[in-house]
Amino acid sequence: MSTILDQIVQHKRQEVEDRKSLVPVKLLENSIYFPSQPISLRKYLQRPDLSGIIAEFKRKSPSMGVINAYAPVERTSIGYMQAGASALSVLTDTQFFGGKSEDLTTARKFNLCPILRKDFVIDEYQILEAKSIGADAILLIAAILTKEEVERLGQFAHSLGLEVLLEVHDRQELENSLTPHVDLIGVNNRNLKDFTVSIETSKELASLIPNDFVKVTESGLSKAENLVELRQYGFEGFLIGEAFMRTSRPEKACLALVEEVKKLTSSQSVSA
């Protein structure tokens, strides 16, 4: 049976071929963002003055349908960063997530912070595209790539100065795709094949991730308690979309969570 992930990848292959013939690489390389120095996601996640939250802009998803059709990228992205997020993640897939490249470029224009291009990368062309729209980091998803592809695409991203977040959701994917060509490992708590969510996945895989990689926990996070607990497992990045985007003012939901985490951590350090 074909999973949603198979369908997304199948669609993406066609989409990438279409874009290649529409926008030649030369044009991507002419973008004003091409020569710019990317901002390090790794470094921002390790800054003690920030929350570690990678706040995501996501209009819809295959599991939820429409999440938020109205929030503007500009206000939301600025608000996320003012709330204390460490970085932004912007979905650029149109067909399944309702995003577009322009969303990322809009976020880029208004924010001086690392921006992750969230898409289904299967081809070098998409990495050139990420650079041309102003992204600092790309996502590689182990579930849709072979180890050789992760290495090749990771190396290519590095050659452009982009950082690489590799997403895994089980032990096999993790062990199969570890390579120095990635910078951060993201454990997806959502199984992209059947959409079930469990933060136990992050807890189980945490100790298997070598310390050279920054650990990121992704999906299904909405409670301050979970963030505080997962930090104890070594996670420094917390990728959150739906919990913010399902509200009418995502940036306010982000601020509320940041404050709740602060309150929890200060009360824990007082009682310790």
CB of 266 vs ligand IGP, minimal distance in Å:
25
CB of 39 vs ligand IGP, minimal distance in Å:
20
CB of 26 vs ligand IGP, minimal distance in Å:
29
Give contact residues for ligand IGP (rule: CB under 6 A): 56, 58, 118, 141, 167, 188, 218-221, 239-243
Task: For ligand IGP, give the closer residue by CB, 188 or 201.
Answer: 188
Task: For ligand IGP, give the closer residue by CB, 134 or 186.
Answer: 186
218 catalytic residue (yes or no)? yes
Point out the residue whose Cβ comes nearest to ligand IGP: 241
172 alpha-carbon distance from chain centroid: 21
Q: Which of 188, 189, 215, 236 is catalytic?
A: 188
Q: Which residues contact 261 (CB under 8 A, 6 or more apart)?
A: 51, 224, 227, 228
CA 246/CA 227 separation, integer angstroms: 19
Task: For ligand IGP, give the closer residue by CB, 163 or 218.
Answer: 218
Task: For ligand IGP, give the closer residue by CB, 130 or 239.
Answer: 239
CB of 222 vs ligand IGP, minimal distance in Å:
7
CB of 218 vs ligand IGP, minimal distance in Å:
4
219 catalytic residue (yes or no)? yes
Task: For ligand IGP, give the closer residue by CB, 61 or 106.
Answer: 61
118 catalytic residue (yes or no)? yes
Q: Which of 15, 56, 173, 251 is catalytic?
A: 56
Strand 87-91 with 65-66, pairing: unpaired
61 catalytic residue (yes or no)? no
56 catalytic residue (yes or no)? yes
Give catalytic residues, as residue numbers.
Answer: 56, 58, 118, 167, 188, 218-219
